[in-house]
Amino acid sequence: MFERECALYAFLREYAQRLTGDLSDSDLGRQPAPGINPPGWILGHLVVAADYGLQLLGVAKVCPDAWHARFKPTSVPDSGPYPPLAELLAKYDEVHAALPAAALRATSEWAGNPHPFEPLREALPTQGMLMAHLLTTHEAIHLGQLSAWRRAAGLPAAPRPL
């Protein structure tokens, strides 16, 4: 199950590497314009979202509780300080390798069950729909934010994965 979504997730993971390849720790909290999410928050948020997906699949979380509190969906991005870029990227890689492996083991029965994340329950009522979102649209939305941040920060566009 989720073979297609996991292939797209791998595609997005490669794009994330292109978007972050030339960043430094000093970039993590930069907000070049009001309301633009800084890279430190975007990466942290993607890490805890994947970690939440692991928990939804019955896998123990890998991120510290402090990361979940700081980067959860209702959190407000700030200028930092953030964990070092190397640490954020290592955790990103860890959870982004673990989530597809776990998702591929999911059953159709599991996918058909309701999920506990109330804010998305009406739009995405089942665990399968939420997992598909985490593996595709959620990741793409936030990587798009990171791409927009690069341009607003005066950095060149990252090489596109297309």
CATH number of the domain enclosing 13: 1.20.120.450
CA 150 to chain centre: 17
The C-alpha atoms of residue 72 and residue 37 are separated, in whole angstroms, by 13
For residue 53, is it within any domain? Answer: yes
The C-alpha atoms of residue 24 and residue 57 are separated, in whole angstroms, by 33
Q: Which residues contact 87 (CB under 8 A, 6 or more apart)?
A: none
For residue 94, is it within any domain? Answer: yes
pLDDT at 10 over 70: yes
Range of the domain at 9: 3-152
Whether the model pTM is above 0.75 = yes
For residue 41, is it within any domain? Answer: yes
For residue 25, is it within any domain? Answer: yes
* DSSP secondary structure, 98-128, as one string: HHHHHHTT--HHHHHSB-S-GGGTTTS-BHH
> Band of the pLDDT at 160, cuts 50, 70, 90?
low
For residue 161, is it within any domain? Answer: no
Over the stretch 60-75, which tens digit does the pLDDT of each residue have?
999 999 999 999 998 9
Domain count, the chain: 1
For residue 157, is it within any domain? Answer: no
